[in-house]
Amino acid sequence: MSVIGWLQISLLFLAVLVVVKPLGLYMAGVLSGEPNVLSPILGPVERGLYGAAGIDPTREQGWLAYTLSMLAFSIAGFLLLFAILRLQAWMPLNPQGFGNVPPDLAFNTAVSFVTNTNWQNYGGETTLSHFSQMMGLTVQNFVSAATGISIALAVTRSFARSAAPTIGNFWVDLTRSTLYVLLPLAVLVAVAFVAMGLPQTFRASVEATTLEGVKQTIALGPVASQEAIKQLGTNGGGFFNVNAAHPFENPTALSNYLNIFAMLSVSAALLYTFGQLVGNRRQGWAFIAVTYAFLIVGVGIVYWAEAQGNPILSQLGLDPALGNMEGKEVRFGQAMTALYATVTTGLSDGGVNGMHGSFTGLGGLVPMFLIQLGEVLPGGIGSGLYGMIVFAILAVFVAGLMVGRTPELLGKKIEAREMKYAMLAVLILPLSILGFTAISAVMPSAVASVGTAGPHGLSEILYAYTSAGGNNGSAFGGLSGNTLWYNTTLGFAMLLGRFAYAVPVLAIAGSIAAKTRASTSKGTFPTDTPLFAGLLIGIILILGGLQFLPALALGPIVEHFAMLSGQTF
Amino acid sequence: MSNKPTTPNLVDPKILFPAAKAAFVKLDPRQLVRNPVIFVTEAMAALVTLFFVLDVATGGGSRLFSGQIAAWLWFTVLFATFAEAVAEGRGKAQADFLRHTKSELSARKLVAPEGRETKEIPATMLKVGDLVLVQAGELIPGDGEVVEGVASVNESAITGESAPVIREAGGDRSAVTGGTEVLSDWVKVRITTAPGSTFVDRMIALIEGAQRQKTPNEIALSILLSGLTLIFLIAVVTLWGLASYSATVLSVTVLSALLVTLIPTTIGGLLSAIGIAGMDRLVRFNVIATSGRAVEAAGDVDTLLLDKTGTITFGNRMASDFLPVPGVTVEELADAALLASLADETPEGRSIVALATGEFGRGASQTGIDAVVPFTAETRLSGVDHRGRRLRKGAVDSVLRFAGLSDSKIPQEFRQAVDKVARTGGTPLAVADGNRLLGVVHLKDVVKPGIKERFSELRAMGIRTVMVTGDNPITAAAIASEAGVDDFLAEATPEDKLAYIRKEQNGGRLIAMCGDGTNDAPALAQADVGVAMQTGTQAAREAANMVDLDSSPTKLIEIVEIGKQLLMTRGSLTTFSIANDVAKYFAIIPALFVTTYPALGVLNIMGLASPQSAILSAVIFNALIIVALIPLALKGVRYRPVGAAALLRGNLLVYGLGGLVLPFAGIKLIDLAVSNLNLV
């Protein structure tokens, strides 16, 4: 570890902290429908869209109608993307002449992008046409992120309102999130990326002659635009197979910085937006503090573990001063790779700039654990916020009783109904992650995909389902995931992780909105204090993480201790 | 409180032995299924027992280990059922006492509403609407309303208070309770409740827990606990698959042990005991709640509606000062007022005597009184003729009329004194000697000592107090500021009360109030916590969700504390239970896998002797902690009125951090015992 490394890390966290408030306030304004700087240009577009679709933006929906709209929109998005992938060969903008995507891979990919997971069992530059990337994937990069924001917004409203029968209009929320938040930010970031040297072209490739005189084909495409929304929408699906480790996706240390900054700032700012909209900014800061605590400790562990290197390799004569550089890009180094890995998994982004599977045991444990904690640190765009609220509900329920009142969060009583849906939601991750991993671990055909012997092999399977269930999308590496079994089950894990979580959350929103907002007093449980933040950290660790400990013990944990004792597999 | 049942001792054999027996009866899975956590534990215990029996039959496996695990899993279930049985047993002792009072009642049913002719029938044959005659020395056969007569009644059977109370027809003191004894005179009572559902019957059922329904918060907590059980079930079942990938075969015994130690058995086992004990504590405070829901709501109360009279003030206005007009000394005024009040037996009159003889040191001599003029509603003054002087005291206008003074003759200073008293919320009494005005006596509502401190305590708890009074706004404001209440409702009619409660509830606040009159009934029913006085009317008692047997309006404050204590106990033990899991992981995970991956031995930070002793120790700790916490569950976590933030900090430290650390030490100690005794 170096001072420079830590300086780089701290600078990024500080930079995000600086934009959290202005960006959070901006989103609070535009998402509430207040006029803003973009209204003169985008206002007519917004109204035109409502007119074309026959939406009355003033008519709000109850939670059930909101949920059904959300599901209908997602199903339609899935069908459209599935069709584009299956019919790719006959679509325009296919300079490389790629064939149709096989059904199981198309299912996996369509689910992956609709659920904002962006797990990639395909190699972008070798499988997908420009049309598929731009009209298929990029569209979902926008709208799946906007769907996440919409759900989070509905939940936010439910706390801000008192005795309300409705939680908003899904179509309005979706449109505003896309038009006023994602689109302008994506344009800004894309232009910045172009300036940093990312390609933005419809050309398929360029031919180059290498020093040895060999002809080489270098894949190109509209990279900058996709990269921008990939990070802003915490999608993480790269244009190229190796994602942000590719020199065209992430050419410089500066572009790497912008990558991390873009993905972290929107999700963190949404927590501030929440505080603003419910009328308690300190609540937003308390949530941000929780995510920062996890991220800082996480990046610290990864950075430390990677800087320590592997004693087994040191014994073979490798210079231990370099630490573990396997699977990392030299232009990023350990600090920025550790930061990227931590943020991308804390966030449910899933883009990677290094191979998590090549990290040391501990270094690989942290990203996996961060996803398993429920993708709330600060989590996927929107989904992180509502995941955090589910944990806050659990935290006030468990500990809130200790102040001698029935639990309430922001003046809303937490009762049996909320508990039922919150527990349903938190059941989904262990069910899909541990369930599918355990089945795969005893199924010979699934075990055959594993690339490494010993506990690392189990980590590969566990990470795959963790990433899918948590809607993260990052890959550990090593596992050959493009098989019928993995394409299908990972697809189901992603669907469960997104919708089996979001539906109970919207049900909570409906029930919370209908409650009268109680006034707070000295006797009410304070949820915007450092003490509560500490409690929330404990609840996330114990209720979100503890159930994964046995599985982790058999994977990365034993790998770490085996490495220390010189054992290989 | 002569014959109030005493608090049963925690280790009273009269409770423990029947409880131990009941603990086995409660093992019936049909009954246990109401408690999912313990039901799962029982299922695991049965499963491990089955495998143990198979092991014994085939001679395979490590029988000593699985036998002990099975035994301790059964103990875990038994300890949980025992906790509930003990809590119920404590209530039973009280219920038996009550049942004793209503055994073999007989009634003297009136043949005709008029007249005294009766025929004797068993009390169980009474119907609603029957008229019965009860005379001195007899027990009232059922709940009812006095329609004729007045009697003193000993209600100690239900209240524990031996001082007799007056029951009379009409007004707010007409309700009588079956099983109480008429001490003097006679009353005619109209029976208002059918036998079997009388107040005492309901009390018995509630105390015994026969009608106990899960309260809303208990249901929500059960959902959390069931959800956690399900999550850990997933974690443990899938672990079998993950372990087999790692070439480790996990036996059903160790997986069951892991599951039971991880699921929240501590709170699951104690949950119903906590609820029963909460009701029981209320009963011990001589308050009967008609449902557990009301006890929970009491913990949530934001606003207390308190009647001024009797709760905040002593209820009688008392003389506090003498304000003479110019030319009259204070002594002269005090003497005149004293003489005018000597024959006055009203509380106001007595307070004037007390003030004059006490603080002003005047001597009270009865000699020389020629005639006594008693107070009447028409004259609104009273006094004496004393050695030719006509001393009168009374309402200001009445005394002025008596003195026959024209407006111009009234000293300016007199008017000022009257105004001053009225402005500060007091009542001015004028004193005159014939046609000579002497001055003003300041009568004021005296706020009970210590009540202001109680209110500031409540404020620290986050509870607002609102004083309800029939006084005019000026008087009300003065008393409100003296007593330190947050708000007041002056010239309050029952409709005003109801409207105020509705307004507060619409603002998301929970209201508690107490009342005794029939006109309080709507407000009592509307309030989230309505406490009726036992001395109150039947209508008030029906509308309220709690009845205070001591009829003490300040009881509301204690009720709120008991509600808070109940919720706190639940929360603290839940936190403790969940925090315990960390240590259990550190005991069991290395034990499960250390043979496959010796490197995982590092995680055995407690240095437990062997994998088997580690697992057994965790299971034993898990069972024993339930027993160890039974006293806390029954007594409840102490509530301190320090505000939520401080409470949270304290309890989180004790039950959160304590819950993390304690099991490390506990499991280590048990492991030492297990390994030294060579139990595995």
Q: Which residues of B touch A554 (CB under 8 A)?
A: 242-243, 245-246, 593, 597
Domain enclosing residue B336, as ranges: 313-447
From the list A406, A442, A538, the residue facing B244 with the nearest CB is A442
What's the total number of domains in chain B? 4
Residue B92: per-residue pLDDT = 76
pLDDT surpassing 50 at residue B3: no
Put simply, the answer to whether B575 touches A414 (Cβ < 8 Å) is no
Classify residue B360 by burial, with Cβ atoms within 10 Å: 0-12, 13-18, 19+.
middle
Asked if A551 lies within 8 A of B296 by C-beta distance, the reply is no
Beta strands in A346-492 (DSSP E): 408-409, 412-413
Is there a contact between B563 and A567 if contact means CB atoms under 8 Å apart? Answer: no
Min distance B619 CA to chain A CA atoms (Å): 17
pLDDT for residue A335 is more than 60: yes
C-beta neighbour count of B369 within 10 angstroms: 15
- Tell which of B194, B228, B250 closes a domain: B194
Nearest to A404 among B221, B245, B565 (CB): B565
A447·B245 Cβ contact <8 A: yes
User: Between A405, A438, A455, which is nearest B300 by CB?
Assistant: A405
pTM (two decimals) = 0.86
Q: Which CA distances in Å does A305 have to A34, A328, A454?
A: 47, 14, 20
CA B446 to chain centre: 27
Residue B620 in domain:
no
List B391's β-bridge partners, or say none.
B384, B433
CB contact set of A544 (below 8 Å; sequence gap of 6+): A372, A373, A374, A376, A391, A426, A429
Which residues of chain B are within 8 Å of residue A548 when distances are taken between CB atoms?
A: 235
Q: Residue A253 and residue A222: Cα distance in Å, rounded?
A: 21
Residue B621 lies in a domain: no
Which of A190-194, A344-348, B421-425, B549-553 is predicted with the least confidence, judged by mean pLDDT? B549-553
Higher pLDDT: B567 or B105? It is: B567
Give B211's pLDDT tier (boundaries 50, 70, 90). Answer: low
Domain boundary among B414, B447, B480: B447
Distance (Å, whole) CA A499 – CA A469: 11
Terminal CA-to-CA distance of chain B, rounded, Å?
56
Mean pLDDT value across residues A489-518: 95
Task: Examine the pLDDT at B2 and tell me if it is beyond 50.
Answer: no
Residue B98 in any domain: the answer is no
Residues of A in contact with B589 (CB under 8 A): 549-550, 553
Measured between CB atoms, which of B235, B299, B509 is closest to A405?
Answer: B299
CATH at residue B181 = 2.70.150.10
Interatomic CA distance for residues B566 and B270, integer angstroms? 12
Residue in B with minimal Cα distance to A541: B582
Q: What is the pLDDT of residues A142-159, one digit of tens each?
A: 999 999 999 999 999 999
- Asked whether residue B379 is marked as a ligand-binding residue, the answer is yes
Query: With an 8 Å Cβ cutoff, are A405 and B651 in contact?
Result: no
Cα gap A318→A322, rounded to integer Å: 9
**pLDDT by residue (tens digit) across A307-322?**
988 888 888 888 878 8
Q: Which residues of A435-450 are buried (b: 16+ CB within 10 A; e: fewer)?
A: bbbbbbbeeeebeebb
Q: Which of A439, A454, A525, A530 is nearest to A490 (CA)?
A: A439
Residue B385 parent element (H or E) = strand B381-386
Q: What is the DSSP letter of B309?
A: B
Question: Between β-strands A408-409 and A412-413, what pairing exists: parallel, antiparallel or unpaired?
Answer: antiparallel
Same domain, B75 and B215: yes
Q: Which residues of A286-323 are buried (b: 16+ CB within 10 A; e: fewer)?
A: bbbbbbbbbbeebbbbbbbbbbbbbeeeeeeebeeeeb
Last residue of a domain, one of B447, B472, B488: B447
The model's pLDDT over B12-29, given as tens digits with 9 standing for 90+, comes to 787 888 888 989 998 999
A338: closest CA among A364, A320, A312, A313?
A364
DSSP secondary structure string for all residues of A149-215: HHHHHHHHHHHHSSS-S--B-HHHHHHHIIIIIIHHHHHHHHHHHHHTT--B-S--EEEEE-TTS-E
* DSSP symbols for B492-559: --HHHHHHHHHHHHHTT--EEEEE-SGGGHHHHHHSSEEEEETTS-HHHHHH-SEEETT--TTHHHHH
B51 annotated as a binding-site residue? no
Amino acid at B617: S
Find the helix or strand (DSSP H, E) in which B430 lies.
Answer: strand B427-433
Q: Which residue from A minimizes the CA distance to B566?
A: A404
Among B240, B568, B600, select the one facing A404 at the smallest CB separation.
Answer: B568
* Residue B493 among known ligand-binding residues: no
Selected for mutation to probe chain B from A402, A520, A542 (highest B CB count within 10 Å) is: A402
pLDDT for the residue B157 = 67
Interface test with A, best of B222, B234, B242 (most A CBs within 10 A): B242
Query: Do B163 and B302 sit in the same domain of this protein?
Result: no
B564 marked as part of a ligand binding site: no
Tell me: do B19 and B83 sit in the same domain.
yes
Residues of chain B neighbouring A402 (CB-CB closer than 8 A): 568, 571-572, 575, 647-648, 651-652, 655
Q: Does residue B452 share a domain with residue B442?
A: no
Clarify whether residues B574 and B645 are in a common domain: yes
How far is CA A493 from each of CA A119, A374, A466, A474, rounded to the nearest angstrom? Answer: 11, 14, 9, 14
Q: Any binding-site annotation on B297?
A: no
Write the pLDDT tens digit of every residue in A434-468. Answer: 999 999 999 999 999 998 888 999 999 999 999 99
| CB contact (8 A) between residue A557 and residue B585 | no
Q: Which two tokens stand for residue A394?
A: 């659990």
Residues of B involved in catalysis: 307
What is the ipTM for the molecules in this complex? 0.93
Same domain, residue pair B249 and B330: no
Instruction: Tell me if the bond preceding A556 is cis, omega within 30° of 0.
Output: no
- Domain membership of residue B623 (yes or no) is no
* Separation CA B499–CA B505 (nearest Å): 10
pLDDT in tens, B81-101: 999 888 888 777 767 766 766
One domain, residues B379 and B470: no
Which residues lie closer than 8 Å to B205 by C-beta, 6 or more apart?
Answer: B211
Confidence of residue B207 (pLDDT cuts 50, 70, 90): low
Q: Is B375 annotated as a binding residue?
A: yes
What is the pLDDT averaged over residues B539-563?
Answer: 82
- Is the residue at B201 inside a domain? no
Residues B279, B328, single domain; the answer is no
**CB atoms B223 and A535 under 8 Å:** no
Name the average pLDDT for chain A: 92
Q: Are A435 and B230 in contact (CB under 8 A)?
A: no
CA dist., res. B29 & res. B31, Å (int): 5
Is residue B305 situated within a structural domain? yes
Same domain? For B513 and B651 the reply is: no
Structure tokens at B591: 């034990």
Residue B38 within a domain: yes
Q: What is the distance in angstroms between the Cα of A526 and the nearest Cα belonging to chain B? A: 6
- The secondary structure element, H or E, covering residue B429 is strand B427-433
In chain B, % of residues over pLDDT 90: 30
Contact B20, B78 (CB under 8 A): no
pLDDT at B345 over 80: no
> Which of A77-91, A146-160, B124-138 has the lowest average pLDDT?
B124-138
Instruction: Answer for the pair A96, A210: CB distance below 8 angstroms, yes or no.
Output: no
Which one of B223, B564, B603 has the shortest CB-CB distance to A404? B564
* Cβ contact A521–B296 (<8 Å): no
In a domain, B619, yes or no: no
Residues B321 and B414 in one domain: yes
Query: What pLDDT shows up at residue A512?
Result: 96
| Whether residue B214 sits in one domain with residue B88 | yes
- Cβ separation A403–B655 shorter than 8 A: no
- Chain B environment of A526 (Cβ under 8 Å): 644-645, 648
Q: What is the pLDDT of residue B5?
A: 42
Q: Do B238 and A438 touch (CB under 8 A)?
A: yes
**Domain match, B319 and B442 both:** yes
Check the CA dihedral A464-A469-A472-A473 and report its sign: positive
The values of phi and psi at residue B135, to 5°, are -115, 170
Domain at B530, CATH number: 3.40.50.1000
A506 Cβ neighbours under 8 A, 6+ residues apart: A63, A66, A67, A70, A151, A154, A155, A167
**Mean pLDDT, residues B510-520 taken together:** 81
- Residues of chain B found within 8 Å of residue A546, distances taken between Cβ atoms: 581-582, 585
- Model pLDDT, residue A220: 84
- Please say whether the beta carbons of B144 and B132 come within 8 A: yes
Q: Is B377 annotated as a binding residue?
A: yes
